[in-house]
Structure 1
């Protein structure tokens, strides 16, 4: 019985093998017919490609071989005596060159297929060359330029009072002198990717490595192989050392902006993000120009409304109070005061040595010859301030489109913002005028108290510490009144902005509700109306780089901050081997610690689990600097770096704000939130307290709610009365310099 079953199974197996072979022969025959009658040249060419016996050739593979420009190709075919797949010419023209050469058939490996190798006869594309017009300042003699400029000073019309004539004469004079000393040269340069850390030692070592590699491939001896491997590791060591030296020096001399560019270069990230258009660069520039012009015209059309349409709404509004000024005080700035050469010199020296391509003289050359050019520059600035005319030659600038966020679509033009690079003299005149305006506003106390931008001792963090006005309905019937008040407030702001030629972006206007989770669940659907738009409450709102949630526990902000810190720490770990310890420390301070310290005073009262997340990231950054693992104690690393932990950094920032409030250097809106404790008359008291003699004791506001403890009025004075805050000013500044 068992023998009969085995015989039947063997017979069935033989039938299956025979059917499989018959199907295979039929399939290969159909493939040959397809190749023969296909679009690959004539029938004779196709038969020459698929000569003698059936092979597993695919028409797509042959098409890829025809259009391929690679240096080598491998394809599989069934075993046969002779294969002439790569010996034919593709196409029917006699001028068609042989694409494949030096082909060889390797012996079978794991299967019955053989590997055919060949080299594609395709020449290397020629290098791209470009024509460059520039001045070679490296070959210029500075003393020759100074001498010639001194001789040409008599050609400048110092008696003229027209700023346009003076500016044109200045640019013509400097351009003519520069053309004689350092003329514009046109040269053709081959565009090659030059690595800044590549030096002659690496180039020589690579030549030796290639020579040893050719020697080893020819001899196939162990001694030559050892020499080649040793030279290969020597080249790697030279490249690594050169990168470490170059990037360490660059990190030590760069600011935060340059550090971002350097790290992106190490991570092979593109710096410029532009739309993808099948058009020349000039056409793309014209597209951006047309878009920005239309955008400006649209904004002007929206804000060009008659003042009478908005004055009534503003006058009837109770939320906007007019500015009360004494009519007897002459606080009008009618004219600008002419500046002296010393004032202009101070303004110019404060500017960084950045140059616009439209400048006739680079900024560093202006500073080097400032004693000679100072009378001309002073004349141009004073004539523009006195006459109230801005020179037409300085109204030109180079506009660069910069994408707003990296995650936005780069093919949509509205996701770009225009960044203007102006001429150097334009910045000097602007700075000269702004200094007088700021001085006038400060002398007559005309500035807005709650304004934090462009003011000394003011920052975004001090603005965030300011108390926010909140609507808190006492009973359920007040909810409608609160919503109406908020809608009226937004409408008043919109009317004021339109009246002052500004535009409110309704698409980006949002609001959120501050309440507990229990109270939020009881609230109905709330919407605010802003013109034709309806605004729904948001769960999180981002203001000045800080994410606020409804519970005000800063959990959303800390989560967003942890994502950003993890991203930068992970990127720094990828390039850590190219950085020295000092360079890595500098990068961590700029990319990690600056984000931990920004607005960290708002994290007072945050959950302990959220603060621990930040602390783990700070420990991770410390291990990154020392390039060590988790076996090292984080407390020892922080002490070595002289870093305060996260919680102590928060307390230190709060004490610093309190110290500035008492010393009078903090903004006025923060000084109003901190008051000294009014001591009772100790002579009338039966007992004298030790705290009555403390002149620096602050009045602490008591709050019955946990959310109220996060207010600066509550946690500021309570934290500022610690022993660290009572230190002297000298010790405090020493502590600032250390941490």
Structure 2
């Protein structure tokens, strides 16, 4: 009977919303009305919940305050009073621990794929020392706002203009004129798959929005389709709430430059952006408009696939007896300095976006505003004069289209490259017969610099890194003249979070992985008492397994000594989870957990890439590295789904390249695994196969 009234209140809401939905179609302020409806609904439901389920101190009711019993025991020297105190204190502690366990179990269950939330939760349990915090105020929030504006303005002011454009633009023959309205069922599917993240100014939390969507779906559909048809983005969809976040805990918290700008957009705006993104991506993919060697924020693409391609090219070049120079470029505030007029021109000429669709993007980019919210204090609003929205769904795609001409410059100079968002990798073979000349690379970098200046982009020289690779052993600058690039030379560089060394040993990467993994294992050991085993395993996968698996396809051919260090991390994680003593044999424990050893995890990852390449689930640049085996004459092996294995000269170079190592591993699999009809089936059979080998 207690919950009867809230249910009736909820049930009556859709009927009232039907009338409101009709009003939405008759007014231009549809988004404002929807926000008001959500506010009213939330307030009424909150009041109903508080009236029928008021907050109670259940823990206090279950246990008498121990301090009260302590005073009783001190005044009474009987053993009975002391025992009551002990029992009460034990019950109190057990109740608090159970409440803690339930609270954090719920957090860990709902955020198993969100390491940031998990890390923050663990910090709250361990009471991690804070480096300090600024005293929040409206003035400080306004100071942050001014700082972020001045930072972008200063960056653009430092860019020296140039009159010549080294890029050659090829107009797009395909045309995209307008977005198609969506159905309610499609919209419901989009909302259901969106991550529940929004803005602090959202009328209701995103998760609650998703739960009540069946009641408000028709109203949301009206707002979305009105924007798609008219080519106008509602003004409140274009406001971002910026929350400053200290880049590293050890940095000085009083220096505003040490804070990173975290932009949060409304959940409704993300729904609209997701629909636009899907329709635009379908058009771009169908017409082959996107840059092939841009792996940022694309389906089937990742940092690992990008590094696998670059690593493969470098290893094959070194296997042929040549050297390779790799230049890593980083752009300063790249997303913030994008010029809106240039971007709209790119969308028009390079992507073929015209008509209402181009009008929509113009509305999307213009008159965007933001305010800074620091610890609950919000600044006044300011306007974005440039840049693509950070924290948005469309931002990365628009930025990749903005960078599109960069590929034409690099290809004209014969330079190999790969990009991941604003991180650019440029590499060139250095041949002995050409005296290891880097002149083509220097000429290309000059053209890139000119193009960036023309497009209000600036290379961050402090983060530019150069490394040399050789056919045998590490390569140093004295052996090859790098000219003006010598000042950026390093023997170990960090490429998309992965440390690459000039000798391909990868010991620096493995050392860093082991260090960070054991740090997190020590922290997890402290909170093990308040976590159930399933939740502890979830956290271990989020903090340890993901580190062991990050770009582990590149570990192919690495020495067993280095892999054993990673295996030690996995063994320690398994012992922590199962409470196993150090002297007990680890192999049965890993088998009981269904954890593949590190060595087999490397081969497992490579073979997963192979299956995806053969079934259209991987980037084109990886699929093109694999070729079906075609025997010179009719043989039974022609029907076994084998791959051609290219020849190599050096075991520590060519044999480690994906295009050689992957076919070798694939051809050694049992035929029934190679013939798996789906990815899930292949994954299951492959795991079973490796378990039998472990």
- TM-score, normalised by the number of residues in structure 2: 0.72
What's the counterpart of residue 699 of structure 1? 645
Measure, in 2, the Cα distance between the counterparts of 1:367 and 1:252: 18
What's the counterpart of residue 600 of structure 1? 552
What's the counterpart of residue 142 of structure 1? 10
What's the counterpart of residue 331 of structure 2? none
What's the counterpart of residue 377 of structure 1? 220
What's the counterpart of residue 588 of structure 2? 636
2:474–2:502 Cα contact (<8 Å) kept: no
State the shift of 1:690 in Å: 6.5
Secondary structure of the 2:292 match is: coil
What's the counterpart of residue 334 of structure 1? 177
Selected match of 1:155 from 23, 27, 30: 23
Secondary structure of the 1:400 match is: strand
Measure, in 2, the Cα distance between the counterparts of 1:515 and 1:203: 72
Secondary structure of the 2:465 match is: coil
What's the counterpart of residue 63 of structure 2? 205
Q: Whose RCO is larger (CA < 8 A, sep 6+)?
A: 2
Indicate yes or no: 2:662 matched with 1:716: yes
What's the counterpart of residue 94 of structure 1? none
Indicate yes or no: 2:347 matched with 1:490: no
| 1:172-218 superposed Cα distances (whole Å, 9 cap, x missing partner) | 5655x549846999x9xxxxxxxx9x9634665352x3244223333
Measure, in 2, the Cα distance between the counterparts of 1:221 and 1:527: 86
Greater CA deviation, 502-511 or 622-631? 502-511
2:566–2:598 Cα contact (<8 Å) kept: yes
Greater CA deviation, 287-296 or 461-470? 461-470
Greater CA deviation, 385-394 or 591-600? 385-394
Selected match of 1:511 from 453, 463, 466: 466
State the shift of 1:623 in Å: 0.6
Shift in alpha-carbon separation, 1:697–1:524, aligned structure 2, 3 A: closer
Indicate yes or no: 2:201 matched with 1:251: no
State the shift of 1:242 in Å: 3.8
What's the counterpart of residue 627 of structure 1? 579
1:140–1:181 Cα contact (<8 Å) kept: no
State the shift of 1:662 in Å: 2.0
1:526–1:537 Cα contact (<8 Å) kept: no
Shift in alpha-carbon separation, 1:733–1:671, aligned structure 2, 3 A: same
What's the counterpart of residue 683 of structure 2? 733
Measure, in 2, the Cα distance between the counterparts of 1:519 and 1:182: 67
**What are the within-5 Å matches in structure 2 for residues 31-50 of structure 1?**
none
**What are the within-5 Å matches in structure 2 for residues 79-158 of structure 1?**
141-156=9-24, 158=25
What's the counterpart of residue 216 of structure 1? 73
What's the counterpart of residue 270 of structure 2? 427
Shift in alpha-carbon separation, 1:693–1:462, aligned structure 2, 3 A: same
State the shift of 1:545 in Å: 1.7
2:507–2:562 Cα contact (<8 Å) kept: yes
State the shift of 1:590 in Å: 1.6
| 1:114-135 superposed Cα distances (whole Å, 9 cap, x missing partner) | xxxxxxxxxxxxxxxxxxxxxx
Query: Over aligned residue pairs, what C-alpha RMSD do you find?
Result: 3.5
2:474–2:503 Cα contact (<8 Å) kept: no
What's the counterpart of residue 570 of structure 1? 522
State the shift of 1:353 in Å: 4.0
1:216–1:225 Cα contact (<8 Å) kept: yes
| 1:374-401 superposed Cα distances (whole Å, 9 cap, x missing partner) | 4443333333233332222222221111
1:655–1:725 Cα contact (<8 Å) kept: no
1:676–1:699 Cα contact (<8 Å) kept: no
Secondary structure of the 2:466 match is: coil
Measure, in 1, the Cα distance between the counterparts of 2:493 and 2:202: 43
Shift in alpha-carbon separation, 1:206–1:181, aligned structure 2, 3 A: closer
Question: Rg bigger for which structure?
Answer: 1
What's the counterpart of residue 287 of structure 1? 143
Shift in alpha-carbon separation, 1:486–1:184, aligned structure 2, 3 A: farther
Shift in alpha-carbon separation, 1:274–1:386, aligned structure 2, 3 A: farther
What's the counterpart of residue 255 of structure 2? 412
Shift in alpha-carbon separation, 1:152–1:474, aligned structure 2, 3 A: closer
What's the counterpart of residue 276 of structure 1? 134
Shift in alpha-carbon separation, 1:276–1:701, aligned structure 2, 3 A: same
What's the counterpart of residue 153 of structure 2? 297
Shift in alpha-carbon separation, 1:540–1:633, aligned structure 2, 3 A: same
2:38–2:204 Cα contact (<8 Å) kept: yes
State the shift of 1:304 in Å: 8.3
Measure, in 2, the Cα distance between the counterparts of 1:664 and 1:210: 67
Selected match of 1:454 from 294, 297, 301: 297
Greater CA deviation, 590-599 or 559-568? 590-599
Indicate yes or no: 2:128 matched with 1:266: no
State the shift of 1:147 in Å: 3.5
**What are the within-5 Å matches in structure 2 for residues 333-412 of structure 1?**
333-363=176-206, 366-367=209-210, 370=213, 373-412=216-255
**Aligned pairs, how many?**
560
Shift in alpha-carbon separation, 1:563–1:517, aligned structure 2, 3 A: farther
What's the counterpart of residue 553 of structure 1? 505
Secondary structure of the 2:475 match is: helix
Selected match of 1:478 from 423, 426, 435: 435
Shift in alpha-carbon separation, 1:461–1:147, aligned structure 2, 3 A: same
| 1:502-541 superposed Cα distances (whole Å, 9 cap, x missing partner) | 33222211111224896636826966548xxx84212221
2:499–2:506 Cα contact (<8 Å) kept: yes
Measure, in 2, the Cα distance between the counterparts of 1:713 and 1:323: 32
Secondary structure of the 1:511 match is: strand
State the shift of 1:448 in Å: 1.4
1:252–1:583 Cα contact (<8 Å) kept: yes
State the shift of 1:222 in Å: 5.5
2:159–2:458 Cα contact (<8 Å) kept: yes
What's the counterpart of residue 232 of structure 1? 89
2:196–2:267 Cα contact (<8 Å) kept: no
1:145–1:181 Cα contact (<8 Å) kept: no
| 1:40-75 superposed Cα distances (whole Å, 9 cap, x missing partner) | xxxxxxxxxxxxxxxxxxxxxxxxxxxxxxxxxxxx
Measure, in 2, the Cα distance between the counterparts of 1:552 and 1:259: 34
| 1:412-469 superposed Cα distances (whole Å, 9 cap, x missing partner) | 2222221122122211221222111101001111121122223222221111110346
1:661–1:670 Cα contact (<8 Å) kept: yes
Greater CA deviation, 391-400 or 566-575? 391-400
2:100–2:530 Cα contact (<8 Å) kept: yes
Shift in alpha-carbon separation, 1:566–1:724, aligned structure 2, 3 A: farther
Selected match of 1:665 from 617, 625, 646: 617
> Structure 2: where are the runs of 5+ without partners?
315-323, 325-427
